[in-house]
């Protein structure tokens, strides 16, 4: 007599559940392997083409006005920045570029925007900007600092840049990165120079953080 085995619905459901679970595991491992491969390729390309930070230097600064009226300051500054992309295979999109000046850690001009631009491989650009501050509130001690620097015969001005950039490698373009530039200019300052603009054409390297 032959034996007839009847599987219960619970038994069938258990086997089907195990089969589905195995398929999910296979899909998960396949997706994980694919994602790991893509990330490894991106990381490898990034290591090979790791972009160097852009380089900035200030070639000329002219202070036409730096007048204190009580706790308010009027200023007018014209400057020229040299921007260089040192990378051989990476371009740079400057999508946001704001310039302003500080003196004794106080902002003495408004933020001045520079139009967005693209910088090709190993390309250099001269950027000019006119920075103005009308009636800006400043600390009362700033007047004493101006007199002190006038007696010392020199004035130290900081020009700063804040903005956002993107890297371009071939047809691939990265997301946005914030960057900050700080340039220091030291110029002669004294009673005999009040009538004319304070000028510095010595050039100075700027620090860059991204």
Return the SS3 of 79.
Answer: strand
Could you tell me if residue 44 is left (phi over 0), alpha (psi between -120 and 50 degrees) or otherwise beta? Answer: alpha
The residues facing 199 across adjacent strands are 62
For residue 177, what is the enclosing H or E element?
A: strand 177-188
Whole-number pLDDT of residue 91: 94
Token pair for residue 76?
Answer: 């007018």
Other residues' Cβ atoms within 10 Å of the Cβ of residue 146: 18
Q: Where do the structural domains in the chain lie, given as residue ranges?
A: 1-48, 55-209
Three-state DSSP state, 179: strand
Instruction: Evaluate whether 190 touches 122 at the Cβ level (below 8 Å).
Output: no
Neighbours of 154 (CB within 10 A): 12
The mean pLDDT of 93-105, rounded to a whole number, is: 96
Architecture, CATH, for domain 55-209:
Sandwich (2.60)
Q: Is the pLDDT of residue 47 over 70?
A: no
Q: What share of the chain is helix, strand, coil (3-state, %, to 5)?
A: 25, 50, 25
User: What pLDDT is recorded for position 160?
Assistant: 97
> For residue 193, what pLDDT is reported?
47
Model pLDDT for residues 141-196, shown as the tens digit of each residue: 888 888 899 888 889 999 999 999 999 988 888 889 999 999 999 988 876 544 56
Between residues 4 and 188, the one the model is more confident about: 188
Q: Report how far residue 205's alpha carbon sits from residue 158's, in angstroms, rounded to the nearest whole number.
A: 12
Parallel, antiparallel, or unpaired: how do β-strands 204-209 and 55-69 relate? Answer: antiparallel
The per-residue DSSP string of 147-169 comes to HHHHHHTEEEEEEEEEEEEEEEE
Residue linked to tokens 């600064």: 61
Contacts of 106 (CB under 8 A, 6+ apart): 138, 139, 142
Report the mean per-residue pLDDT for the chain: 84
Half-sphere exposure of 27 (CA within 13 A, CB side): 6
């Amino acid at each position: 007599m032959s034996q007839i085995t009847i599987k219960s619905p619970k038994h069938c459901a258990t086997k089907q559940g195990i089969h589905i679970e195995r398929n999910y595991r296979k899909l998960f491992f396949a997706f994980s392997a694919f994602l790991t491969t893509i990330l490894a390729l991106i990381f490898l390309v990034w290591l090979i083409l790791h972009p160097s930070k852009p380089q900035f230097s200030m070639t000329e600064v002219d202070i036409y006005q730096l007048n204190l009226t009580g706790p308010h300051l009027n200023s007018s500054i014209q400057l020229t920045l040299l921007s260089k992309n040192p990378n051989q295979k990476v371009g740079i999109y400057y999508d946001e570029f704001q310039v302003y000046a500080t003196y004794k850690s106080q902002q003495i001009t408004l933020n001045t925007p520079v139009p967005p631009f693209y910088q090709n491989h190993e390309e250099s650009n001269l950027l000019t900007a006119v920075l103005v501050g009308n009636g800006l509130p400043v600390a009362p001690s700033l007047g004493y600092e101006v007199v002190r620097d006038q007696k010392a015969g020199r004035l130290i001005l900081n020009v700063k840049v804040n903005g956002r950039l993107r890297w371009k490698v071939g047809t691939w373009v990265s997301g946005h990165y914030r960057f900050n530039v700080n340039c220091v200019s030291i110029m002669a300052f004294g009673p005999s120079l009040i009538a004319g603009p304070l000028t510095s054409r010595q050039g100075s390297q700027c620090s860059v953080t991204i």
